[in-house]
Every structure is written in structure tokens, then in C-alpha cells.
Amino acid sequence: MEITVGKSGTWMNTMILGVILVILGVLLVALKAEALRWILIIAGVLLLISGAISLYGGLKSGLKTDVAIGAVAAVLGILLIIFPNFFEDVLMILLAVLLIVLGIMSLANVAPSFSLDNNGKILTAIVGVIMIVMGVYAILNRQDTADLVMIIIGVLVAVSGVLKLVEGYRAKQ
């Protein structure tokens, strides 16, 4: 199949990308945390390959920084491959802490020195409290959080795919 540039090639490429995104989104929703594990393993393989290439190039050229970066990337890649569940937990804890921090920052923005109207302050406070509650929940239920995160990401990817399909359909006409 030849990829062409221009109006006919652009809509076809957009449609293909849309189909791929919809399929990927559905897979993420269906597999949930298992999809995250596979993503971490694939990232580990890619890091290992990248690290090995950098390590080899650094040893061959004598660049110590390339050797160090290659070694760190290779070790991190191996760890991701061997311990994807650990890194899944680490990611969920980081997400939870981020939610709590963002919630606290939202609540801090409600202070009287900010010039939001009352409705804006109430909404900001509600969002801040929800973020803090979600962060605490995420720390206490990491597996459920991973499932929920992957469902949300999967839905967003699938919706993006549908939008690409619509864009491709419109570009064809």
C-alpha cells in the first residue's frame, strides 16, 4: 500500500489512525491494569534496547556520559520488565500524591486574596476537595485506581479515534 500525500492520502491516513486509536482505546478499557503492565513491560524492553545501544556506543567512542546513561537506561529497562507490578504501584502512588497536591493547591486558590467570584470559589473548593479525596482513595486502593486510570485513558483514546474518523470522513468529501 502506497501512502500518498495530498487530500486523498491525508483522509485515508486519518481514517487508519482513527481505527487504530479506537481499537487501542477499546483494548485499554477491556484490559485495564493488565494493559498498564504490558505498557510498562514494552517500555522496559525499549529502554533496555536504547540503553544497550547507548552503552555500546559510549564504550566504542569512550564517552563516559553515554556509558552511564546507557547503563542506567538498561538497568531501568530490566527492572521494568521484571517488576512491572512494582512500577504500576509507584505510578499509582505518584498519581495519588499529584491529585492531593493539586487539590490542596485548588483549595489554596480559594483564599480571599484571589479575585474569583463566589461561584468560582465554591466550584474551585469542590474540585479541590474531590481531588484530595480521589488521591487518598488512590493511595488506599492502588489496583482499583490502575483499572480506573486505564479505563479513562482508553475512553479518551477511543473518543480521539472516533474524532479522527469523523475528521477523515469530512476530509474525503
**pLDDT tens digits, one per residue of 86-145:** 999 898 899 889 989 988 988 887 665 555 556 667 777 888 888 898 889 888 887 788
Cα distances from 131 to residues 101, 119, 140, 155, 168, in angstroms, run 9, 18, 14, 20, 37
* Domain-located, residue 60: yes
1 is a domain residue: no
AA identity, residue 7 = K
User: Could you tell me the residue range of the domain that residue 164 belongs to?
Assistant: 7-172
User: Does 158 fall in a domain?
Assistant: yes
User: DSSP code of 3?
Assistant: -
In a domain, 58, yes or no: yes
The answer to whether residue 2 sits within a structural domain is: no
How many folded domains does the chain comprise? 1
Is the confidence at residue 173, as pLDDT, over 90? no
Looking at every residue in the chain, the average pLDDT score rounds to 86
